[in-house]
Amino acid sequence: MEPVIVHPWNVQEEEALAMQHQLASQVIQTDQMDTVQMVAGVDVAYHPRLDKQFAAVVILDAESLDVVESVVAEDTASFPYIPGLFSFREIPPIIKAFKQLKTTPDLLVCDGQGMAHPRRFGLASHLGVLYDLPTIGCGKTRFIGDAKEPDDPRGAFTPLIDQGEVVGHVLRTQNHTKPVYVSIGHRISLFTACDWVLKLSPRYRLPETTRQADQRVRKALTASLQ
C-alpha cells in the first residue's frame, strides 16, 4: 500500500519542523474507523553502525492475534536521531515495507508516541496522516509530559499532561509491570486507543503487534550480520 500524502524526506531540521506544524493540523482526534479486523504493528531496528536500518510491518487478526502477513524492508538512514523529529528517521524504511504489503490494515499500532509530542505530531500521527489510517502511539518510555504512577491492576491509567493538556495515558497493561505511554495517533480517541492496547496485550507488557514486529525485524537484522 502507498501513502495518500507524499512529501520530501531529504530535508533539514528547520524544514522538518515546519512540515510537522503543517501536518499536525490534519490529525483527527476522534474515532473514525470501520470494524477492526486486521491490526498492524510496525518496528525499526538498526545495524550496530546505526546507518543500516530494517523496518517490519506485521498484520494480525484482531480477534485471534495470529499473524496473517509480515514484510521487512532494508534501508540506509539519512536523517539523524533528533528528539521530536524521530519520524523523519524511521518512516522512510517503513514506507518501503508498506509497499510490499498485500493486506490493508484497519488500525496501526506504533512503537513510539502519537500526540504525546512537543508539536502533537509524533511517529504514530505522522504515519496515520500519511496513510490516512487510524493509528495509536504506544511508547515504552516517557517523551514529554508529567503523570502520576497508575495503580496496580492491569487497565489502570493516569493522564499524561503537557502544558496543561492531556496528551496521553500512562497505562498499566499487566499487573506489577512498568506501564506504557498511549497517545492518539490519528482517527481514534484516547480511550478507544487504550482499549485496543489492552486488548492487544493479553499476556505481555507490550501489544502483540509491537512484539511480533520487533521479533521479525530483529531476525532480519541478525541474518544480515551473518
**Positions that interact with DNA (CB under 7 A):** 43-46, 48, 50, 81, 83-87, 111-113, 117, 122-124, 137, 139-143, 218, 221
Q: Which is nearer to DNA, 89 or 96 (CB)?
A: 89
DSSP classification of residue 146: B
Least separation in angstroms between CB 63 and DNA? 27
Please, what is the minimum distance in Å from the beta carbon of residue 93 to DNA? 12
Nearer to DNA, 105 or 168 (CB): 168
Which one, 68 or 198, has the nearer CB to DNA?
A: 198
Closer residue to DNA, CB minimum distance, 68 or 223 = 223
Largest distance between two CA atoms of the chain? 50
Q: Is 43 known to sit in a ligand binding site?
A: yes
Count of Cβ atoms closer than 10 Å to residue 45 Cβ: 21
Please check if 111 is assigned to a binding site: yes
* CA 92 vs CA 16, 77, 158, 162, 225: distances in Å: 14, 8, 33, 29, 21
Provide the b/e sequence for 70-95 (b: ≥16 CB within 10 Å): bbbbebebebeeeebbbbbbbbbbbb
CB of 108 to DNA, least distance (A): 14
What is the closest distance, in whole angstroms, from the C-beta atom of residue 112 to DNA in the complex?
A: 4
Strand 165-171 relative to strand 180-186, pairing: antiparallel
Binding residues for Mg(2+): 43, 111
